Amino acid sequence: MRTFRFLLDENVPHALRNAILQKNPELVIWRVGDPGAPPKGTPDPDILLWCEKYAFILITFNRASIPLHVHHHLSQGNHFPGIFTLHPSMSFNEITNEILLICGAASPEEFRDLIVYLPI
């Protein structure tokens, strides 16, 4: 079983990473713009390629265009480790609890090529 690795897109507040890591400091959570992660302003298709290459599940609020990018990504024979799409009404506490529940009950491989809309 592999460890969950998450990439927060640049529209997800940095404070969410802190909230999740406060409850589980063992998780790997990077954010677009961090050293080693895609730079801010990276187009979504390139973020999907990066997530595929480095095995990071994307966490995003983008419910509008991500499904279209995913369809194109898969149609090109690519894959991705998963996407957790957040509902904008969720609080940091709700998001944190959902992420920790998923990490405790599943393995990262279960989300390959899936978009998961949170809350579950």
Domains of the chain by start residue, with CATH? 5-118 (3.40.50)
In tens, the pLDDT along 22-50 reads: 999 999 999 999 999 999 999 999 999 99
How many other CB atoms sit within 10 Å of the CB of residue 4?
23
pLDDT band at 120 (very low <50, low <70, confident <90, very high): confident
What local confidence, expressed as pLDDT, does residue 15 receive?
A: 93
Q: Are 92 and 58 in contact (CB under 8 A)?
A: no
Which residues fall within 8 angstroms of residue 80, CB to CB, at 6 or more apart? 48, 51, 52, 58, 70, 73, 112, 113
What CA–CA distance (Å, rounded) separates 15 from 33? 14
Burial (CB < 10 A; 0-12, 13-18, 19+), residue 103, is: middle
* Mean pLDDT of all residues belonging to the chain: 95
2 or 89: whose pLDDT is higher? 89
pLDDT, position 52: 97
Rounded percentage of the chain residues whose pLDDT exceeds 70: 99
pTM of the model: 0.95
H/E stretch holding 18 reads helix 14-23
Q: Please, which pLDDT band fits residue 80 given cuts at 50, 70 and 90?
A: very high
Cβ-Cβ contacts under 8 Å for 65 (sequence gap 6 or more): 44
Separation between Cα atoms, residue 40 and residue 110, nearest integer Å: 28
